[in-house]
Amino acid sequence: MKISVIGIGKVGATVAFVLAEHGLASEIVLWNRSGMAARANALDIEQACAFTPYRVAIRAGEVADTADSEILVMCASVPTPTQMIDRCELAAGNTALMRELVPQFAALSPNAVIVNVTNPVDAITWHVLQLSGFPWQRVIGTGTLVDSARFRDILSQQVGIHPVDIRAYILGEHGDSQFAALSIATAGGEHIDATPARYKMLEQAKATAFEVLRGKGYTNYAIAMAVCNIVEAVVRDLCATLPVSVRINGFCDISDVCLSLPAVIGRGGVHFTLVPDLNAAEQESFRRSAALVRRTIAAMG
């Protein structure tokens, strides 16, 4: 299994480390505009792997060295302002960056699954889909996977159940219009009541990402684990259900925009998306997310 990580900043480097630590590839190629940063991280991760039971070849490379990758993880981004309050601030710069990078990497790895991390993740995932020419099943944005994990972590502290055993999803946009689908939230088959306090937990979960950003200038650990979840599902053909950003085709009468729904992921990418039974308010929230993402896409041309 060959995986290439595109963009070795704080996020890309952490993603590469986590993938290597979990033994998810036999070869990992790191590409970055600064070859020095890619080489230094490759050497550091290679040495870290001496503490694991896995044999992983990790190297920095040029664009051509990513050829025939089975998974491309897109982490390249323009600099993120420390005081950023809206991921759409990155839309113009990152759309231009994707127009430059995606066609090159997609042409060299025409059978790859692309996992997009670059923000604003829904609009950029849509652009990656268009620029790559890949089937929609092979272009996956991290979407609300990390938001759902943050929400479950906070919720677990109240209900006294481990986050892994809580089935509660944040859906829609990875941004301000995301919503908690509490009407379908369960644990052990028992419904989790949609109380006002639990809706407030969504706001708390949304705020944590920007709290981390303000405190240390970037977020990296949670998103790296989210990427690892997606990659592991593909590599091991887990058929795992994960809330990720994919092209929507008819859900809530929405089509041709990327948003997060629970998707079954295995070898080759998305096997199918599920159709959650959302209530009327949640369906309207999903449509609102779609409108906002469309507006961002349209603004970029």
270 shares a domain with 172: yes
List the domain range (segments joined by +) for residue 55: 2-141
pLDDT tens digits for 144-179? 999 999 999 999 999 999 999 999 999 999 998 999
Q: What is the CATH number of the domain that holds 90?
A: 3.40.50.720
pLDDT at 32: 96
198 shares a domain with 59: no
33 shares a domain with 61: yes
* Distance linking the first and last C-alpha atoms of the chain: 36
* Residue 35: CB atoms within 10 Å: 14
CA–CA distance, 253 with 243 (Å, rounded to integer)? 19
Yes or no: say if 122 and 247 are a contact pair by the CB < 8 Å rule: no
Catalytic residues: 174
231 shares a domain with 85: no
Three-state DSSP class for residue 269: strand
Bridge partner list, 139: 114
Q: How many residues belong to the chain?
A: 301
CA–CA distance, 63 with 70 (Å, rounded to integer)? 15
Q: Report yes or no on whether pTM surpasses 0.85.
A: yes
Indicate whether 107 pLDDT > 90: yes
pLDDT tens digits for 181-212? 999 999 999 999 999 999 888 888 888 888 88
Domain final position from 95, 114, 141: 141
Domain final position from 119, 141, 163: 141
Domain count, the chain: 2
Structure tokens, 120: 């604003």
Q: What is the CATH number of the domain that holds 166?
A: 3.90.110.10
153 shares a domain with 134: no
129 shares a domain with 185: no
Choice among 132-136, 213-217, 240-244, 294-298 with the minimum mean pLDDT: 213-217
Among residues 122, 48, 79, 6, the alpha carbon closest in space to that of 15 is found at 6
